[in-house]
Amino acid sequence: MRVSGQLAVIALLGAAGFGGWYAYQGGYLGTPSAEQQGASAGGRGSRGGPSAPATVEVDTVRTGRIVEIREAVGTVRAYESITVTAKVAGVIAEIGFEEGQKVKTGDVLVQLDAAERRADIDQAIAEANRAVALRNEVAIKLERAQALNRTGAGTSAQVEDLTAQMKSLEGAIASAQAQRKAAEARLEDLTVRAPFNGRVGMRSVSLGAYVAPGTRITSLDDLSKIRLDFAVPENLLGRLEPGQPVTAISSAYKGRIFSGKVSTIDPRIDQATRTARLTAEFDNPDEALKPGMFLAVKLEVSSNDEAVVVPEEAIVSEGLRHVVYPVKDNKVERRVITLGQRQGGKAEVIEGLKAGETIVVLGVQRVRPGAEVIARPLGSSGDEPQVPPAANRQQPSRSSLNLPNAIGAAQAAER
């Protein structure tokens, strides 16, 4: 019984092997034969006969606007920015701002104690008034002396003496007035005002604090506009000029693009990095951009409104070369082209193509130079029969190839 079971197993294994060989030869397993490949590629052609022309989608070469963009990184700084300090020493008597407040030109930020300066002004005013009073008194005496001298009752010496007193008192008046102006100027130094419109920062002093000249009180930044500093390679220097468009994005504002223009080109080249420093100005009405922020910058170096452009799908890369397949009279030509900028799924062709020519866009894998093709406009739906995928082809019955089932059946027969 055991011998008969073993013979049954051998017979079944032989049948399974024959079935596998038959399936392989029939093309159900492994790589399709050359005839099957020809039938699939040819579609309508007979088995083993010549392949039908490949169907491709073509498009006309057009002209469009291509912009040369150079990318860099930049740092934001305020349009105008200062550190607010005291010009003279003094004690802070009044703070006229809140941290982060917007202020206007001339607004009082800090007032130092001015009692001593006001006293100096009062003293200068008093000195000037006293000198004026003395001058008026001497002027009256001088008029009398001149009248007496004309009648012969007075002397010339008395007139000359009174005239000298008048000149001395006028000098005293002028000196007192100058002292008053100096005291008023010193008084104004005790008032710290905003020199331009802007927003103040964090304050570094408190009410009643003594500050020396140069002590930081706060910061003031004009954020209605911002300046962006960035650098580009020196080989672009000949194509840079003020007014070129600049766009920037920040990781703090997803999806938002800031637009500005180049305002300044540094006349010096950085010897270490061989770059030219540029400054661009951006409007910042909502003050979204803050000094010190990091931005990714795109500089529009040049633009060409009549550039020859083709879809990137039409370009085949062969090493360092780029190839397209023009179509003329339903025949394909292979042509090497020189590319420029790439933008929005389009590529600029500097050399090798002209506007108005027709090129293969979809189906470049199925064409060969000189081959005939069926050209259809890009985007049109095809109506030729589709070869079913290998996974959908009818497969041979797995019952003859199921070795575990065969072995199980043999073991059952043995038992």
Q: Which of 303, 334, 349 is the last residue of a domain?
A: 303
Residue 394 binned pLDDT confidence (cut-offs 50, 70, 90):
very low
The pLDDT > 70 percentage for the chain reads 80
pLDDT at 2: 60
Most confident range, picked from 48-57, 272-281, 403-412: 272-281
Q: Are residues 225 and 298 in the same domain?
A: yes
pLDDT at 35: 40
Q: 232: domain CATH number?
A: 2.40.30.170
Q: Are residues 209 and 253 in the same domain?
A: no
Q: Are residues 341 and 224 in the same domain?
A: no
Answer whether residue 234 is part of any domain: yes
Q: Are residues 369 and 330 in the same domain?
A: yes
Instruction: Give 374-388 pLDDT, tens digit per residue.
Output: 888 887 755 444 444
Q: Are residues 168 and 284 in the same domain?
A: no
Instruction: Give 264-311 pLDDT, tens digit per residue.
Output: 999 999 999 999 999 999 999 999 999 999 999 999 888 888 889 899
Answer whether residue 380 is part of any domain: no
Answer whether residue 378 is part of any domain: no
Q: Which residue has the higher pLDDT, 46 or 353?
A: 353
Q: Are residues 244 and 289 in the same domain?
A: yes
Answer whether residue 254 is part of any domain: yes
Answer whether residue 67 is part of any domain: no
pLDDT at 83: 94
Residue 42 has pLDDT above 60, yes or no: no
Residue 318 has pLDDT above 60, yes or no: yes
Q: Are residues 182 and 127 in the same domain?
A: yes
Lowest mean pLDDT segment, chosen from 102-106, 164-168, 240-244, 331-335:
164-168
Range of the domain at 142: 114-189
Answer whether residue 68 is part of any domain: no
Instruction: Give 118-130 pLDDT, tens digit per residue.
Output: 888 888 888 888 8
pLDDT at 209: 92
Q: Are residues 107 and 197 in the same domain?
A: yes
Q: Are residues 202 and 103 in the same domain?
A: yes
Residue 393 binned pLDDT confidence (cut-offs 50, 70, 90):
very low
User: Structurally, how many domains does the chain consist of?
Assistant: 5
pLDDT at 276: 93
Q: Are residues 228 and 343 in the same domain?
A: no
Q: Are residues 274 and 322 in the same domain?
A: no
Q: Are residues 332 and 229 in the same domain?
A: no
Answer whether residue 228 is part of any domain: yes
- Mean pLDDT value of segment 249-271: 93
Instruction: Choose among 340, 337, 343: nearest CA to 315.
Output: 337
Instruction: Give 224-237 pLDDT, tens digit per residue.
Output: 999 999 999 998 98
Residue 403 has pLDDT above 50, yes or no: no
Q: Which of 303, 329, 360 is the last residue of a domain?
A: 303
Instruction: Give 84-110 pLDDT, tens digit per residue.
Output: 999 889 999 999 999 999 999 999 999
Answer whether residue 43 is part of any domain: yes
